[in-house]
A and B are shown apart, each in its own frame.
Chain A
Amino acid sequence: MKALEVKNLSAFYGKIQVLWDVSFEVEEGEFVTIIGANGAGKTTLLKSISGLISNKKGTVTAFGKSIEQLSAAKIVRSHIGHVPEGRQLFHLMTVLENLESGADYLPHAKREAAKTKAYVYSLFPRLKEREKQLAGTLSGGERQMLAIGRALMTKPKLLLVDEPSLGLAPALTKTVFQALKTINQEGVTIVLVEQNVLQSLKAAQRAYVLENGEVVKSAEASSLLNDPEIQAAYLAI
């Protein structure tokens, strides 16, 4: 089954159109990246899928179910998690409280909260060490781990990740992408949108290229790494 099927998706801010007939698919279990420059529409795309933008046209189907009409709170109940751009943690809450908030409002996630929390801590041991610390006092890398952890607490089968490398040193970016790979290998389908083209092509299996709100290219991630156009435009080789 397809985890995600987006067909002719257009999205608007007021009257301004930002996405133009975007179509792409993700098989269950895949790790797909959507790369694009700043302003290409990556964040808008993820927000349209997870229900944060309702001013849109086209269809979005997740695990065989049409979701483009649903509210964000309903979409997360269809097992779609969203790690927002810029982490967006609750800074005055502790690491533990941030994690718990991910499961608190979803009965199916709440039942397994203890188990998921243990899983998140095994993935990111640093979070366990800082359990009682306020999220606002974490380093950039730890915040990103916490943002991913909080989304995992919602028990997603499909995880949408928005530019986790933002503001991270290359080594930390690698750690975070490695964690995403592990999460993927354990059965969670991943859609990663990124400006960090090199790292995300290395982590993902397949890739789409988004330019000015349109999908202009799609291929195996490894073949895009060797694509002269991509190299010239994004990899500065």
Chain B
Amino acid sequence: MKLRMNLVLLALAAVLLFFLPDLLKLFFDKASVSYLSLLINATSLAILALSWDILARTGQLSLAHAAFFGAGAYSTAILVKQTDVSLWLGLPLAALSAVLLALLLGSVTLQLRGIYFAIATLSFAEVLKAVIQKLPSSLAGGAAGINVEPLFRPQFIAGEMERWEIAFLRNESYFLLYAGLLLATIVLSLLIESSSLSYAFSAIRTNEEVAAVMGVKAARFKLLAFVLSSMPVGILGAIQAHRIGSVSPDETFNVGTTVLALVTPIFGGLYTSLGPILGALGLASIEEFLRRTFSEGYLIGYGIVLVLSILFMPKGIMGLLRSLRKAQRESL
């Protein structure tokens, strides 16, 4: 029942997202490109955060999401460089390589908890980065990385000089691709939430021993969560590689990706579908606002916002909304 209502809402959101680039053009004309860029940032952050949250629902707080992202990006980049197959084949390949990595990492970390799990996942990502760097540079480009052909053509405005990056952004197809991936990830998350997987996930998270004596095969569910969580992130990596136009160990296997994957759901509210999305919208907007206001050094402001939000809203935006609603009910 609740699932059906959520899916209807989601369908409405899909329609809105589809027309959003046109609406932006209508309202902001040329400036709409920068809004489109903000939207792409928010969407990709939301995909990352929601995927991370799916894994966190089983109590596995991963520091390896940059690895899934990087695996997706690199497998696409290598495929495109080495073969003549359709560019689109890169996306399923990215999903596949992220999933294989997730299965590998997930099965070696099954017995690890807390800080040990965190360290193992972080080291895994770093090792993968080092391996990519050491691969023959004819294959993976070494420290310099590889260029990646774009999925969509840049759109220049006749007679104007502008950077390629902006011309690419003007091509709304990228935004639509991100939006599609986000919608798919939300559907995945909602299906998990409304199925018996959600009990199993939260049982494993809150008390693995009890889950075991209830008959929950924890290993299986934890691996499943790894698979489901890594898939969208792998595809995201591939799309990003096409849009940015290159991959390199430092840029693609960036610890920042891992940090954002974890900070965003915490900011929005853990273990829900809505929380990570609100978190992504919030953080992307705050970042954009700070960058425009302070330009240099805006990251300091960003850090302060994060610290304050963790101090004063430990349960994230969702927690804040919940307590507001409760206060409202009690005042009636």
Q: Could you tell me which A residues sit within 8 Å of B by CB distance?
A: 47, 50-52, 71-73, 76-77, 81-82, 84, 88, 90-93, 97, 100-102, 104-106, 109, 150-151, 154
Contact = CB atoms under 8 A, between A and B. Distances in A.
B155 interface: no
Nearest to B212: A72
Query: Which 5 pairs of residues, A with B, have the shortest CB-CB distance?
Result: A72-B212, A105-B215, A82-B213, A106-B215, A76-B215
A73 B207 contact: no
B209 A52 contact: yes
Interface in B178-207: 196, 199-200, 202-203, 206-207
Given A72-B212, A90-B207, A150-B214, 5 more contacts: A47-B209, A101-B199, A105-B217, A151-B213, A154-B214
Among B196, B200, B215, residue most surrounded by chain A Cβ atoms (within 10 Å): B215
A73 B206 contact: no
B202 A77 contact: no
B200 A50 contact: no
Given A88-B207, A90-B206, A73 B212 contact: yes
Given A90-B202, A101-B199, A84 B215 contact: no
A81 B213 contact: yes
Contacts of A105: 196, 200, 214-217
B199 A84 contact: no
Contacts of A102: 214
A76 B199 contact: no
B215 A154 contact: yes
A13 to B, nearest CB: 14
Contacts of B238: none
Contacts, number: 64
25 contacts: A51-B213, A52-B212, A71-B217, A72-B212, A72-B213, A73-B212, A73-B215, A73-B216, A76-B212, A77-B215, A84-B210, A84-B213, A88-B210, A90-B210, A93-B202, A100-B199, A101-B214, A102-B214, A104-B199, A104-B200, A105-B196, A105-B214, A109-B215, A150-B214, A151-B213
Interface residues of B, number: 16
Contacts of B217: 71, 73, 105
A82 B217 CA distance: 16
B58 to A, nearest CB: 14
B49 interface: no
Nearest to A88: B210
B218 interface: yes
B45 to A, nearest CB: 27
Contacts of B200: 104-105
A214 B167 CA distance: 78
B213 A52 contact: yes
Given A88-B207, A104-B196, A76 B202 contact: no
A71 B206 CA distance: 19
A83 to B, nearest CB: 9
A88 B209 contact: yes
Contacts of B206: 90-92
Contacts of B199: 93, 97, 100-101, 104
A106 B211 CA distance: 12
Interface in B202-236: 202-203, 206-207, 209-210, 212-218
A47 B200 CA distance: 21
Nearest to B199: A101
B214 A84 contact: no
Contacts of B216: 73, 105
B288 to A, nearest CB: 35
A153 B27 CA distance: 59
Contacts of B214: 76, 101-102, 104-106, 150, 154
A25 B176 CA distance: 66
Contacts of A97: 199
A156 B214 CA distance: 11
Nearest to B218: A73
B318 to A, nearest CB: 14
B315 to A, nearest CB: 12
A95 to B, nearest CB: 14
Contact of A71 (B207, B210, B212): B212
Contacts of A72: 209, 212-213
Contacts of A50: 213
A88 B212 CA distance: 12
A150 B213 CA distance: 10
B212 A51 contact: yes
Nearest to B217: A73
Given A97-B199, A104-B199, A105-B200, A84 B209 contact: yes
A82 B211 CA distance: 11
A81 B214 CA distance: 8
A132 to B, nearest CB: 16
Nearest to B271: A92
Nearest to A104: B196
A82 B216 CA distance: 13
Nearest to B216: A105
A99 to B, nearest CB: 11
